[in-house]
Structure 1
């Protein structure tokens, strides 16, 4: 039987305003707990985009990678510290599209790339084509290219970019081609070179996602050229034109030079990005299109009903029930019984240095005073996955595990994926977000937390300047001068965090429940519809495509 997904196909007629054929390339897609093709925020964002594209009947498809071992499975060693596990994944619900292309990688002229499709009706998304090199006819090394998301081996990472970029572009061609090729971050940059080499008139669009170095890859141009990164072997003169910072190819700079339009993921990030890349010639203007999340997927239905009716009693009752659900996971993982009547603070995201998971521990004496306070008791939960080779992030995770082990009201959870993320957002009272200013490009977890009655306690970074009304819909730390030494910023932010907790957050929660509920409702009012992915998906068509 021939798959209908062997040509450009949607189960609906695209709406006229969204009729332009668009292929959206992303290294990760966070669609469902049972589909392990994501690591965190970038994937959650792409997943919400695909759901909204489906709901809006947009003429858009996703192009991603079918990771054999996913990102990694987060377990524990005997002493409860972090354990990285790579376990093979199988997805019988994906359909073999029947599409297979060949891509040149280094000395291998014909690495086979096969596309499996996530049908729209499976999870109510736009069609997504997942690429794999684990294909009969490929040699062992070629078959392992699509093993692990964000593989730590540089040559494998380069190969992954070629597979997603050139392999993905060839799959889109086989489907009939697209009017717009949109790269979600620079991982699929070879797609732009491939289109350029073939004289394609299709529009190139690009989203830059972070000011952090890891999301703006830069590699030796000669090495990339030998690998076939550019779709053909460039002459020395051609390569020189692409290089920056000596012999480097910066994926973001190259994408900004080739894209007709580009966007950052918040208004603040657009300013930061413009400053970052202003020294490079011939780059396109960077528009602000703030990241957002899908309300239907992330917001608890009973929370929504209580908000729509402005029913404080129903909101409190539902939060208690959701906290109990979260606390059963806490008990399961840590053997600790949490109290649903106690204010619960959650820090949950990737363990990266600038996100400062352990900011509360920068003043141990004050921390001990906070967590042993009987007048205003607190419960704190940390969760998140460091990159498997980020030894600093892993050390912070392990230090928190050791420090919290003997506290009955503190927990560090493993397995921070979609389902746990939902439980933490719906079951928390406070969503703690403390990146150093200008480092967090967007921070969509705070949006979905706010949708579920969890109040943001945050530095004024990423999306917060567009949303935050201090003491009205969130609690904001005073802004630090980002040019100060990091140690100074950390010391002052830690001090301010404690003052806000002790003087505002805890007294409001315990002594003024009506005021607390007003902040909860104000936060949901502020986040919907402005920070929902329907707005974002529309804005992409209107401003980027």
Structure 2
């Protein structure tokens, strides 16, 4: 294939003829391609799969992480061990394209690799690497670890994605109508485009932006002089940078710059769109912020047999299939922990990225109530935790290790390692209840519950992210009622959510699961049906064209 005049290698649907380049730091397309850490990657992977299904004229641009995010292993006492292992991907094609970009005032060689659409049924994906013999060791390490903790390395990664990605597109003569930044990591592309088009208006015509961060403090900011010394601004003087971005202080806010460079932006749920508009309204020259709720790819995630039995109305086979899925997943639990779980027992799963605001251990904070729950013989319960903390997030790692320590006292509590796409799907199949309890309104969207629904799990969540658009309490899931969180101290909020979580679990979920099987099955089916129509990524990929690319 000639990558110098690249076009999509399949017939494009006329509705999606605009050429789009979609930039993301991570893509979770399939388990064997380990270039993702969490929800942002899962979302980007589903987006590329739906773009392929809908035959959209869209390519992905990312980075080929030599060691991925990290591999989750265990120390001798079962606690978390962070390990790094080189990844080898024989199915990626060498495009033969190699070029230089400037990082830290020095030329760095970049090579582009290609994931063809036919390998994993995704839109074409181009992945950039600096791990080349032509580069010095420091330059080679830019693409080694996703979200490197070193600030200079992280900025170099942002430049590689933004400037390197935009330059690759020029090398390929792809000429996109829109450059789509999935989060602000790649906003250095805007400075590259500013040099190319010589006009802020022209940059705006070509740039759209998706923000995933629901609070101002969570947006990446770096010292503007460090950014300048790293060549982040593509040769612009600081005076020019301040003029085009409107940023006058000494902290460069990547999201703020993206919102001023883009023609249109979006939040990733209805609630998040509202929160984002409120959050940024005091800043001038911000582009409009719409809402496009995240979604996940049904073809990749859903258990088709469950859906078949649901559509046939065959409850015996439906129940049997769910039990089979649970048993198969429990083999992994037994293998990792030596605990044999029972497929007839209500199984709660909490599995996602470990971050403080997601409160993985919330249900254990009232330890007496937790012990009582785990010892109940009338309504027995099993709980599984899994997820990856950021390798230097020591409070999150401490939470993970404390849960492992706690689990040693219970036969029906397990903490698993290796939470990537493969285990994620198995745990969603294992779950009767998919527990999600972030602090409202810290979760921009959260999509793990969508894919849990697609595998016959019932969502039980605080009322955040996509949940207000989905859960009809007692009908297709269960939701902790909101309190006046804005006027509550964090401890009060946690206490409110914890008390309601136990109350709903003890008084509604457990009695229905064990005493009203037909009702429970109907709640499960309602969730499966509702999620397929509202939160399938073909809907989302279509909305990006309608609301962002055609704006």
The answer for the alignment partner of 1:509 in structure 2 is 513
The answer for the alignment partner of 2:533 in structure 1 is 529
SS at match of 1:229: coil
Structure 1 residues 426-466: Cα deviation after superposition (integer angstroms, max 9, x where no partner): 11100000001111111110001111110000011000111
> Does 2:463 correspond to 1:478?
no
Distance of aligned partners of 1:207 and 1:314 in 2 relative to their CA distance in 1, 3 Å threshold: same
The answer for the alignment partner of 2:39 in structure 1 is 41
The answer for the alignment partner of 1:145 in structure 2 is 142
> Does 2:341 correspond to 1:338?
yes
SS at match of 1:80: coil
Q: Which moved more, 1:444-453 or 1:67-76?
A: 444-453
The answer for the alignment partner of 1:211 in structure 2 is 214
User: In the TM superposition, what are the counterparts of 1:280-429 in structure 2 within 5 Å?
Assistant: 280-429=283-432
> Does 2:539 correspond to 1:540?
no
The answer for the alignment partner of 1:85 in structure 2 is 83
The answer for the alignment partner of 1:252 in structure 2 is 255
> For structure 1, which runs of at least 5 residues remain unmatched after alignment?
none
State whether residues 436 and 482 of structure 1, in contact with CA within 8 Å, keep that contact through their aligned partners in structure 2.
no
TM-score, length basis structure 1: 0.98
State whether residues 242 and 248 of structure 2, in contact with CA within 8 Å, keep that contact through their aligned partners in structure 1.
no
- Structure 1 residue 215: Cα displacement: 5.5
2:169 equivalent among 165, 172, 186: 172
State whether residues 384 and 416 of structure 2, in contact with CA within 8 Å, keep that contact through their aligned partners in structure 1.
yes
The answer for the alignment partner of 2:231 in structure 1 is 228
State whether residues 256 and 262 of structure 1, in contact with CA within 8 Å, keep that contact through their aligned partners in structure 2.
yes
Please give the alpha-carbon distance, in whole angstroms, between the structure 2 residues aligned to 1:345 and 1:12: 43
The answer for the alignment partner of 1:116 in structure 2 is 113
The answer for the alignment partner of 1:104 in structure 2 is 102
- Structure 1 residue 235: Cα displacement: 3.6
Q: Which moved more, 1:202-211 or 1:447-456?
A: 202-211
Structure 1 residues 344-387: Cα deviation after superposition (integer angstroms, max 9, x where no partner): 00000011111010011111110000000000000000000000
Please give the alpha-carbon distance, in whole angstroms, between the structure 1 residues aligned to 2:102 and 2:485: 44
Distance of aligned partners of 1:376 and 1:388 in 2 relative to their CA distance in 1, 3 Å threshold: same
Please give the alpha-carbon distance, in whole angstroms, between the structure 1 residues aligned to 2:238 and 2:368: 62
> Does 2:153 correspond to 1:156?
yes
Please give the alpha-carbon distance, in whole angstroms, between the structure 1 residues aligned to 2:70 and 2:78: 17
TM-score, length basis structure 2: 0.96
SS at match of 2:385: strand
State whether residues 228 and 238 of structure 2, in contact with CA within 8 Å, keep that contact through their aligned partners in structure 1.
no
Please give the alpha-carbon distance, in whole angstroms, between the structure 2 residues aligned to 1:413 and 1:198: 49
The answer for the alignment partner of 2:5 in structure 1 is 7
The answer for the alignment partner of 1:194 in structure 2 is 192
Please give the alpha-carbon distance, in whole angstroms, between the structure 2 residues aligned to 1:271 and 1:310: 40
Distance of aligned partners of 1:204 and 1:241 in 2 relative to their CA distance in 1, 3 Å threshold: closer
Please give the alpha-carbon distance, in whole angstroms, between the structure 1 residues aligned to 2:390 and 2:247: 27
SS at match of 1:528: helix
State whether residues 243 and 250 of structure 1, in contact with CA within 8 Å, keep that contact through their aligned partners in structure 2.
no
State whether residues 371 and 379 of structure 1, in contact with CA within 8 Å, keep that contact through their aligned partners in structure 2.
yes
- Structure 1 residue 240: Cα displacement: 6.4
SS at match of 2:27: coil
State whether residues 221 and 239 of structure 1, in contact with CA within 8 Å, keep that contact through their aligned partners in structure 2.
no
The answer for the alignment partner of 1:50 in structure 2 is 48
State whether residues 437 and 480 of structure 1, in contact with CA within 8 Å, keep that contact through their aligned partners in structure 2.
no
SS at match of 1:145: helix
Please give the alpha-carbon distance, in whole angstroms, between the structure 2 residues aligned to 1:322 and 1:97: 41
Please give the alpha-carbon distance, in whole angstroms, between the structure 2 residues aligned to 1:434 and 1:272: 19
Please give the alpha-carbon distance, in whole angstroms, between the structure 2 residues aligned to 1:89 and 1:214: 34
The answer for the alignment partner of 1:518 in structure 2 is 522
Distance of aligned partners of 1:135 and 1:86 in 2 relative to their CA distance in 1, 3 Å threshold: same
State whether residues 216 and 279 of structure 2, in contact with CA within 8 Å, keep that contact through their aligned partners in structure 1.
no
1:433 equivalent among 431, 436, 439: 436
> Does 2:123 correspond to 1:126?
yes
State whether residues 430 and 456 of structure 1, in contact with CA within 8 Å, keep that contact through their aligned partners in structure 2.
yes
Please give the alpha-carbon distance, in whole angstroms, between the structure 2 residues aligned to 1:245 and 1:82: 43
- Structure 1 residue 212: Cα displacement: 4.9
State whether residues 5 and 117 of structure 1, in contact with CA within 8 Å, keep that contact through their aligned partners in structure 2.
no
Please give the alpha-carbon distance, in whole angstroms, between the structure 1 residues aligned to 2:381 and 2:3: 52
Q: Which moved more, 1:197-206 or 1:282-291?
A: 197-206
> For structure 2, which runs of at least 5 residues remain unmatched after alignment?
none
Please give the alpha-carbon distance, in whole angstroms, between the structure 1 residues aligned to 2:4 and 2:88: 22
State whether residues 31 and 420 of structure 2, in contact with CA within 8 Å, keep that contact through their aligned partners in structure 1.
yes
Please give the alpha-carbon distance, in whole angstroms, between the structure 2 residues aligned to 1:11 and 1:241: 37
- Structure 1 residue 401: Cα displacement: 0.3
SS at match of 1:458: strand
Distance of aligned partners of 1:475 and 1:245 in 2 relative to their CA distance in 1, 3 Å threshold: farther
The answer for the alignment partner of 2:497 in structure 1 is 493
Give the root-mean-square deviation of aligned CA atoms. Answer: 1.3
Q: Which moved more, 1:180-189 or 1:218-227?
A: 218-227
SS at match of 2:445: coil
State whether residues 24 and 62 of structure 1, in contact with CA within 8 Å, keep that contact through their aligned partners in structure 2.
yes
Please give the alpha-carbon distance, in whole angstroms, between the structure 2 residues aligned to 1:307 and 1:149: 40
State whether residues 61 and 127 of structure 2, in contact with CA within 8 Å, keep that contact through their aligned partners in structure 1.
yes
